[in-house]
Amino acid sequence: MNRRSPRSRTAAVLLLAALTALTGCSAGSEPGAALPPAHISRATAPAPTASAAPVKPMARSLPVRVRVPAAGVDAGPILDLGLNGDGTVEVPSVADADRIGWYDKGVTPGQTGPAVLIGHFDTARGPAVLKDVSKVRVGDEITVTRADGTTAVFRVRELEQVDKHAFPTAKVYGDTARPELRIVTCGGELVDGHRPDNIILYADLVAARAA
């Protein structure tokens, strides 16, 4: 699949139902490797209104580091994730379980549209970068340092846990009118070495800090 602009990619992305298949983790069956179930309580905050002071979208610049203080995440460098041959989204390898990846067919964090970051909750080797995702709450900040030295600051607006077979593809990958961020990992009770759910954080750009 060729790289597309943020506005022209939507139809192609939404046609790829298989996008949901690999946005998760496999914890394997190694004794003692798995964490307790990953669960969050669904929560939302009102979306920014048109009357709220808008944050000017940032120019394109690749993400290099992401920080989610509430979950103890300070990860970098960021991996580039594209599409597998079958149309599914790549995820970080087990060897990169301590890193976060950015879906590089979308916008960069801070641009208008949904920038998507993906990381493991756990793998067969044990806890991974997003092991404490359940500690995140609506209103918490996420910061993304970019290659141009600027920092995009996001505030969590919504937490969602869904069965992978009901993954909200349009909601996660579809175009938005303002700069937004999604962080996707896995969750739920282990079933045959896999976690059946996805946990998704939705966040809005609230500040753009200069280098």
In tens digits, what is the pLDDT along the chain, a chain of 211 residues?
A: 222 333 334 444 443 433 444 444 544 434 334 455 556 655 556 555 544 567 999 999 999 999 999 999 999 999 999 999 888 899 999 999 999 999 999 999 999 999 999 999 999 899 999 999 999 999 999 999 999 999 999 999 999 999 999 999 999 999 999 999 999 999 988 787 788 899 999 999 999 999 8
CA–CA distance, 201 with 195 (Å, rounded to integer)? 17
Can you spell out the DSSP letters for 66-127?
A: EEEGGGTEEE-SPEEE-B-TTSPBP---GGGTTS-EEETTSPPBTBSEEEEEE--SEETTEE
- Write out the two tokens for 144: 């993304």
What are the φ and ψ backbone dihedral angles of 164, each rounded to 5 degrees? -60, -30
Q: Tell me which residue has tokens 């079933």.
A: 191
Domain at 10-45+56-209, CATH homologous superfamily: Sortase (2.40.260.10)
What are the φ and ψ backbone dihedral angles of 159, each rounded to 5 degrees? -120, 135
CA–CA distance, 91 with 100 (Å, rounded to integer)? 9
